[in-house]
Amino acid sequence: MENKPRMISGSQLVFLLLISRLFTLFTFVPRARTAASGSTALLCIPLAGIAVGILLLPSLLLFRRTQTGLLDCAFQVGSGYGLLVSLLFGAFCLYMAAFTVSHFSFFMTSVVYPNSTPWVFVILLTLAAGYAASLGLEAFSRMSVWVFSLLLLLLVLFLCALLPEANMVYLTSPLLDGTPAVGKGIFYTAVNHAEAVALLLLLPRARRAGGRTVAGWLVLTVLAYELLSFLTLTVLGDYAKTRIFPLHTLSSLTQLSGFGRLDLLHITLWIFAAFLRMTVYLYCAAVCLRRMLPNLRFGRACACCAAVSGVWALMTAQGMRFWNQAAEQIWTVAAPFLLLAVAAPLATLLFTSLGQSPTGKGNGK
Amino acid sequence: MKITEMFKRRPAAPESAYQPPQPDAGLDRKLAPTLQQRLSDLREMVGNTGDLIVNELAVCGIDCAVVMCEGMVATAVFAELFAEPLTALRLDQPTPEKLLGWVRHQSLLAPDQKEFHTYGDLTRFIMSGFVVLLAEGVEPGLAFGIQGYDGRSVSEPAGESNERGSREGFIEKLRPNLSLVRRRLKSADLTFEMVNFGVKSRTDGALVYLRGAVSPELLEEVRRRLSQVKIDVVLESGYLQPFLDSKPLSIFSGVGYTERPDTLCAKVSEGRIGLLVDGTPYALIVPYLFNEHFQSFDDYAHRPYFATFIRWLKYAAFLFSFLLPGLYVGLGSFHPELLPKNLLLKLAQSEAVTPLPLMFEALLIFFIYEIMREAGLRMPKSVGHAVSIVGALVIGDAAVTAGLIGAPMVLLVAMTAISSFVVPSLYEPVTLLRFGFILIGGIAGLFGIVLALCAVLANLCAINPLGVPATSPAAPFSLYAMRDVLFRVGWKTLSQEDLRIQGLTGSDLKGEDADGE
Report the amino acid identity of residue A99: F
Please indicate whether, in this complex, the C-beta atoms of A264 and B338 are within 8 angstroms of each other.
yes
Kindly state the average pLDDT of the residues A44-55.
92
Residue B47 has pLDDT above 60, yes or no: yes
Residues of chain A with C-beta less than 8 angstroms from the C-beta of B505 = 9
Nearest chain B CA: its distance from A349 CA (Å): 28
Please indicate whether, in this complex, the C-beta atoms of A207 and B517 are within 8 angstroms of each other.
yes
Chain B contact for A6 (CB, 8 A cutoff): yes
Q: Which residues, in sequence order, are CB contacts of B5 under 8 Å at separation 6+?
A: none
Sign of CA dihedral B492, B497, B498, B501: negative
Chain B contact for A108 (CB, 8 A cutoff): yes
Interface of B with A (CB under 8 A): 6-10, 217, 221, 246-247, 334-335, 338, 340, 444-448, 450-452, 454-455, 457-459, 461-462, 464-467, 469, 471, 474-477, 505-506, 508, 517
Please indicate whether, in this complex, the C-beta atoms of A208 and B469 are within 8 angstroms of each other.
no
pLDDT at residue A310, as a whole number? 92
pLDDT at residue B223, as a whole number? 93
pLDDT at residue B218, as a whole number? 92
Name which of B7, B467, B505 is nearest A2 (Cβ-Cβ).
B467
Nearest chain B CA: its distance from A87 CA (Å): 17
Higher pLDDT, B294 or A249: B294
Nearest chain A CA: its distance from B262 CA (Å): 29
Residues of chain A with C-beta less than 8 angstroms from the C-beta of B344 = none
Nearest chain B CA: its distance from A181 CA (Å): 38
pLDDT at residue B435, as a whole number? 96
Label residues A238-253 b or e (16+ Cβ within 10 Å = b): eebeebebbbbbbbbb
User: Rounded to whole angstroms, what are the CA distances from B437 to B76, B329, B355, B432, B463?
Assistant: 60, 9, 22, 9, 21
Please indicate whether, in this complex, the C-beta atoms of A138 and B462 are within 8 angstroms of each other.
yes
> ipTM > 0.90?
no
**A335-349, B72-86, B425-439: range with lowest mean pLDDT:** B72-86
**Alpha helices in chain A, H assignment, sequence order:** 10-26, 38-55, 57-66, 70-77, 79-107, 118-134, 137-162, 179-191, 195-202, 211-231, 246-253, 263-292, 298-317, 321-328, 330-337, 344-354
Residue B515 has pLDDT above 60, yes or no: no
Residue B323 has pLDDT above 70, yes or no: yes
Kindly state the average pLDDT of the residues A151-175.
82
Best to test chain A binding among B291, B335, B461 (most A CBs inside 10 Å):
B461
Name which of B221, B452, B469 is nearest A142 (Cβ-Cβ).
B469
Chain B contact for A283 (CB, 8 A cutoff): no
pLDDT per residue as tens digits for the range A209-233: 788 889 999 999 999 988 888 888 8
First to last CA, chain B: 46
Residue A253 has pLDDT above 60, yes or no: yes
Higher pLDDT, A195 or A27: A195
- Per-residue pLDDT band for B473 (boundaries 50, 70, 90) equals confident
Nearest chain B CA: its distance from A56 CA (Å): 24
pLDDT at residue B4, as a whole number? 63
Q: Which residues, in sequence order, are CB contacts of B484 under 8 Å at separation 6+?
A: B295, B494, B499
Report the amino acid identity of residue B94: P
Pick the closest to residue A142 from A222, A206, A229, A87 (CA basis): A206
Sign of CA dihedral B342, B345, B347, B349: negative
How many residues are given for chain B? 517
> Average model confidence (pLDDT) for chain A?
84
pLDDT at residue A330, as a whole number? 73
- Cα–Cα distance measured from residue B487 to residue B502, given in angstroms and rounded to the nearest whole number: 21
* Residue B390: HSE in the Cβ half-sphere, 13 Å Cα cutoff: 12
How many residues are given for chain A? 365
Residue B13 has pLDDT above 80, yes or no: no
Chain B contact for A311 (CB, 8 A cutoff): no
CB atoms within 10 A of CB B165: 17
Chain B contact for A145 (CB, 8 A cutoff): yes
Domains present along chain A, CATH in parentheses: 8-348 (1.20.1740.10)
Kindly state the average pLDDT of the residues A125-132.
95
Please indicate whether, in this complex, the C-beta atoms of B451 and A124 are within 8 angstroms of each other.
yes
**A54-68, A91-105, B475-489: range with lowest mean pLDDT:** B475-489
pLDDT at residue B6, as a whole number? 59
Please indicate whether, in this complex, the C-beta atoms of B474 and A125 are within 8 angstroms of each other.
no
Kindly state the average pLDDT of the residues A322-333.
71
pLDDT at residue B353, as a whole number? 81
pLDDT at residue B45, as a whole number? 86
Please indicate whether, in this complex, the C-beta atoms of B467 and A9 are within 8 angstroms of each other.
no
Per cent of chain B over pLDDT 90 is 30
- Continuous segment of H or E residues that includes residue B98: helix B96-101
Find the residue in A nearest to B456 (Cα).
A132
Kindly state the average pLDDT of the residues B149-173.
85
Kindly state the average pLDDT of the residues A303-316.
91
- Per-residue pLDDT band for B516 (boundaries 50, 70, 90) equals very low
| Window 199-218 of A, Cβ < 8 Å to B | 207-208
First to last CA, chain A: 27
> Average model confidence (pLDDT) for chain B?
85
Residue A334 has pLDDT above 90, yes or no: no
- Segments making up each domain of chain B, as ranges: 35-144, 174-300, 304-462
Kindly state the average pLDDT of the residues A52-63.
91
Across the A:B interface, residue pairs with CB atoms under 8 Å apart total 116
User: Rounded to whole angstroms, what are the CA distances from B256 to B68, B203, B292?
Assistant: 37, 20, 9
User: Rounded to whole angstroms, what are the CA distances from B358 to B308, B351, B353, B410, B433?
Assistant: 36, 8, 12, 12, 18
Chain B contact for A115 (CB, 8 A cutoff): no
CB atoms within 10 A of CB B21: 11
pLDDT at residue A364, as a whole number? 34
Name which of A142, A207, A271 is nearest B450 (Cβ-Cβ).
A271
Q: Which of B110-114, B327-331, B369-373 has the highest mean pLDDT?
A: B327-331
Residues of chain A with C-beta less than 8 angstroms from the C-beta of B506 = 6, 9, 138
- Per-residue pLDDT band for A154 (boundaries 50, 70, 90) equals confident
Residues B433, B250 contacting (CB under 8 angstroms): no
Higher pLDDT, B109 or A231: A231
Kindly state the average pLDDT of the residues B335-351.
81
Please indicate whether, in this complex, the C-beta atoms of A139 and B462 are within 8 angstroms of each other.
yes
Name which of A125, A143, A267 is nearest B446 (Cβ-Cβ).
A267
Find the residue in B nearest to A209 (Cα).
B517
Q: Is-cis flag, bond preceding B287, omega within 30?
A: yes
Pick the closest to residue B427 from B318, B297, B339, B277 (CA basis): B318
- Cα–Cα distance measured from residue B453 to residue B359, given in angstroms and rounded to the nearest whole number: 18
Residues of chain B with C-beta less than 8 angstroms from the C-beta of A275 = 451, 454
Residue B23 has pLDDT above 80, yes or no: no
